[in-house]
Each structure stands twice: as structure tokens, then as C-alpha cells.
Amino acid sequence: MTTEFAIPSGRFRGHERQQVWTAEPDPELTDVGPGTPCGEYLRRYWMPFAMTDQVGDLPLRVRVLGEDLVLFREKGGTLGLVHLHCAHRNMSLEFGIIEEGGIRCSYHGWKYAPDGTILETPCEPPASQIKTKACLGAYPVIEFKGLAFTYMGPQESMPPFPVFDTFDEEGDEMIPYLINSPCNWLQVMENAWDPFHVVYLHTKAVRTQFIDAFAELPAIEFFERPYGSFYTNTRRVGDIIWLRIHDKMLPSFTQNGGHFPVPDGPRYFGRCGLSRWVTPIDDTNTMVIAWRHFREGDDPQGLTDRNEVGYGKTDFYGQGGDRPYEQRQRDPGDYDAWASQGPKNVHARENLGFTDRGVAKVRRTLRAAIRAVQAGEDAAQPALIFNGTIPTYGGDTMLRIPAQEGHDDAALLKEVAHKVAEIYMSADHLQGKERAAFIRRGLEDYEASWQGGPQMGAAPQEHDQQRQSGAL
């Protein structure tokens, strides 16, 4: 008896595509160690690298941008961040002794100030000059609301610490969190520039990780500011036009819209759900480090639990690798998307489409910024471009603007997005409550101009004219 096997039909390209699978990653954008183009660029910015809760009465060994370091709080309260190995015989300072004014190596007692100055070399003869000749590498630390930030670039290029307008708002409880991922930083950072994955990964893939309204494909518009950019995700939910606005600033700062908004009525200039950075640990490990913002009214359905926010965890779905494997397979989240691209994603084997224009844009902009620093130029610093508290836009606005008879709704969403962005940006000269009130007034007036449809009253006609002339 002969057994016959039907050969599956189709064109199988496994062997052919192997060539692409062996393609190299893109080190100009991915590699972060000392002396690398991207590493040098990132070293021009203040970046958070630890939660201050992690630092107790012992030194904390950390790795940032491929450098092994020790973070400690000397007994006077100041945080120090120094190279891991003692400048004397290279014993690791993770075994050091914390004292008033600094950290002392356990091996021969050399003591270091937070800036790496050698304070004492007790085993050396009194006349020894070794402590004035040697020193330990150290980086400055700024501590703010539970996060420790450092600047690891050349001292002469150190920018002022950028203070964004969301860092200290009345009625806002900010809770820090930090989650590690075993992959390159760019994969994590790019996820924030990809508004379309929300529609699929978070909503349609298996279950709704946020709210049903996210399933609607948003209209996306990008807006540039001298110190960064933001984009609007605009959707219609019944009579409501819902704008979810995300701040995106290189190298890795993001402020998204709210996490659990309910677009069932007007909301004017709601603020962001998080302020988040992506800090490389090394080339294949990355931390997401952020504050979650909790304000009255941000979570009308009571979906969140602020006790879920902290070291290694946050209150929204799929941000870490701590879930059972089968659950991750059945219901993957952001972590599974970026970590499963591999330790370093290979761009040559991707096929970018229309929905990837944010990703393409950020890679292009990042590459240009890295090359500028390589060419000896200064990195763009928000704190220098905008002198003072830096205005940001992230958050939600919901306007009651029903679909207009005889008008293309997709065009209307785009028009509204541009007008709302214009109203936001027109208040950049103001701060705090004054700015919020100004923006709210602008949004309310604009919303009111649409009531009754464009055929009724002067304001909507004006919109028609502007729409035709392309002014909006």
C-alpha cells in the first residue's frame, strides 16, 4: 500500500526571507553605551532612573545607559550617584558604608562625597596626596516627587531641569512607578508614537483593556512646538467629539490622555493620565518610569486602584511581564508587543504602513537629533527654549458637536482637532489656573458656535468659509 501526501499549495517563502531575518538592527538609534551616537545624545538630557523609595540605608546598584552605578543617600539626606567601582582597588561600592556626607568603600575605607570627591583615605599616610589626584566618577541627582533624575552628559552641556506644567498642579496626586522590560529602549518609546495600536491591541485583539470607544479608528493630527510635539486622536462618540491629546517630546517624554475617560459629555482641557519617560538600562533592557496622575473626576467608573501603582507595577493592563504566560498569550498587552519584538528590533524586516507614520516620524526626528549632537551641535532643550514652566497639552477634551447635515464628518473631526489645538496653543503665555480658564473659555465658545448646525447663525457660516479656504 502506498501512502500519498498532498503537498500544501501556496508560495512558501521561508527560505527566501531568511536573508532578511539575519539583517542587523539599527545601532545608530538603539545603542546607548558610553561613546555611542545615541548614548551621547541621550546623555544631554535629565532623565529619571530610579524611584527614591528604592533607596534605603544601603547602597542601590543600578545600571543606566549601559553604565554600572551606585545610588545612595548619605546620612545628611543627599542622594549620590557614583560609578560602581571604588577608585582605589575597584571593589564594588554596592558593599559600601553609608555615612554622613558620603559613602565609604568597605575594602580600605576610601570615602566619597556625592560628587565623587575623595574625602578620606584612612589607610594612606597623612601626607599622601592621592585623594587630590584621584576621584570617582559621579553624576548629579535631582529628586522630585518620588523619582530620582540624573544628567550623565558633559558638565558644560548640562541643561536646566525641565519643569513641565503638570509637575505640580493643585488637586493632583502623583504616584511614581517603574517597570522594566527586557528589550531595547526604542521599542518601548515608539509604542507611544503609535496611536493605532490602541484600536487593535487594547481593544479589538481579545478584550477591551480600556473602554469600548477606543475601538473607533481615530483621526490623527500632529502639531509641532519648538520644545516638542503633540498629537490629537479624534473620535466621534454620538454627539461628542472626543479628543485624546498626547504630548511627545524627544528623547522619551510622553503625557497621554486620561486612562479611563468616559466620553459621555463635554469636558474641557482634562489633563494627562501619566507623565512618562523611557530610560535605557542598557542596549537590551529598559525601564518605563513615570508618575500616574490621580485627580477628582478622572476615573468616573472607578476602574482604577492607586495601590496598584508603584515599583514594578501600574494600574493599567499589560505593562509588565509578571502575568502568567498563557494569560499573556490570550490577552497580550503593551509589554508583550514591545518585548516580543526581540532584544533589539530589526527595522529591516518590518513593513511600515500608513498607521506607522508616528513611528516613522520619531525615528526620522531622533536620527536627525542624534546626528546633530554628533556634529557638535547642542541638543534641543525644552527648558532653554521655553524659559519657565513648560506648557504641555496631554489630556482629553470632549465637545458636544453633533454630526452636521451635509458635511463630511471625517473632515469635521479634522477641523475640530485643528481648532482645539489652536485654542490650546494660544494660551502658552499663561500658566496654571489662568491658562486652564482661558482654554476652557475658548473651547466652550467654539463648542457653542456649532450648536444648531452650521446653517444657523453667523459663527458656523464662518466655519464653512474657513473650511472652504483651508484656513483651519
CB nearer to Fe ion: give 31 or 334: 334
Nearest to 46 by CA among 445, 361, 382: 382
- The CA distance from 460 to 294, in Å, is 37
Sign of CA dihedral 124, 127, 129, 132: positive
Question: Count of H helices and E strands in the chain?
Answer: 13, 19
Residue at shortest CB range from Fe ion: 334
Quick check: 375 and 365 in contact, CB under 8 A?
A: no
Least distance (Å) from Fe ion to the CB of residue 202? Answer: 6
CB nearer to Fe ion: give 210 or 222: 210
Residue 336 near Fe ion by CB under 5 A: no
Least distance (Å) from Fe ion to the CB of residue 246? Answer: 11
Residue 334 near Fe ion by CB under 5 A: yes
Least distance (Å) from Fe ion to the CB of residue 22? Answer: 30
Cα angle for residues 169, 174, 179 (degrees, 5° grid):
145
CB nearer to Fe ion: give 26 or 334: 334
* Window 197 to 226, contacts with Fe ion (CB under 5 A): none
CB nearer to Fe ion: give 204 or 433: 204
**Residue 106 DSSP code:** T
Site string for Fe ion, 294-333 (x = CB under 5 A): ----------------------------------------
Least distance (Å) from Fe ion to the CB of residue 185? Answer: 16
Alpha helices in 60-176 (DSSP H): 130-133
Least distance (Å) from Fe ion to the CB of residue 147? Answer: 22
CB nearer to Fe ion: give 298 or 334: 334
CB nearer to Fe ion: give 165 or 336: 336
Least distance (Å) from Fe ion to the CB of residue 414? Answer: 23
- The CA distance from 463 to 55, in Å, is 56
Nearest to 272 by CA among 360, 192, 347, 184: 192
Residue 31 near Fe ion by CB under 5 A: no
Least distance (Å) from Fe ion to the CB of residue 224? Answer: 23
CB nearer to Fe ion: give 209 or 229: 209
Site string for Fe ion, 241-270 (x = CB under 5 A): ------------------------------
- The CA distance from 468 to 213, in Å, is 30
Nearest to 283 by CA among 21, 10, 454, 35: 35
Q: For residue 339, how many other CB atoms are within 10 A of its CB?
A: 20
Q: Which residues bind Fe ion (CB under 5 A)?
A: 334
